[in-house]
Amino acid sequence: MWICVKWEWRRQTRQARFWGSLAALAILGVLFAYGYSQMRGQADIQAILGRVAGNGFFVPILALILCTGVILPFFTGVVGADLVSGERQLGTWNILLTQGVSPWRLYLGKWWFGAGYAVLAVLVLALSALVSGMVWFGMRGAAIPSGVMVSPAGFLDIVAVMAGYTAAGQIVVMTMSLLVSAFSRMTVSAIMVAVGILVFLSMLGDIPFLAATQRFFFTSYFSRVGDVLSYPIDWAPLLRGLEVYAVYMTLFWAAILWFQPFRD
């Protein structure tokens, strides 16, 4: 299986899209530092962080809260949607199968690569924002919106927990996209379906009489990452989100086990 992971790594790293997405996330982390420096008077930012200013720890916190619902799922979904459909489009999937490689080994190898990319994307964004915040504003203890004073070590714990929870959500997005990819023979169609599912689930919450259905969708739990700011950390909403993620992961894998669409 790890040979399949290495194969997928070589295939993806030859594509400009792979490096371009990571570079875009790194640049985005720097842009959040600039945006944080301009936050005075912006009601949407003050609703998250209050009126705090001049602490670099809040840059990765803002980046993770604001990117976990749209930007990170987009990048992760695009990569996941290409993992199987890209092979089929190039005609290399059947070639791999004729070499005696098990379809399950290929699929698991691609899932591990996709999970690694999801974690890497979150880390690139968080570290870029953290370093930018450190250079621009410095790092020190400060009061969070609840009024609790948090030390620099406490802020590092907050950022680490937020990054871990965000990465878990992105792995679910990648698994969903990989499931879509397994049914598709064209990368563009797989990306459109995967991104369309994410947009559709997010839009349901904007329909008044369907708002109650949001609690059943994994996309609704991305925002729980903001609950980490209730320091000391309230683990209950995060654990609830992880439970929902685990349920969807089980459903996605059950669909693959049942339909086995990658067996050409």
Q: Which amino acid is at 119?
A: V
Contacts 24+ apart (CB under 8 A), 96-102: 97/264, 101/4
Q: Which amino acid is at 96?
A: L
Average pLDDT (36-57) is 61
pLDDT for residue 208: 66
C-alpha–C-alpha distance, residues 225 and 30, integer Å = 21
Within the chain, how many helices (H) and strands (E) appear? 11, 2
Cα distance between the two ends of the chain: 19
- Give the pLDDT score at 228: 85
Q: Would the pLDDT of 114 be above 90?
A: yes
Q: Confidence class of residue 46 from pLDDT cuts 50, 70 and 90?
A: low
Span 189-197, average pLDDT: 93
Report the distance separating Cα 157 and Cα 238, nearest Å. 15
CA distance 195 to 206: 18
Average pLDDT over residues 189-200: 92
C-beta separation of 152 from 160 below 8 A: no
CA gap 185, 82 in Å, rounded: 10
Name the more confident of 103 and 179.
179
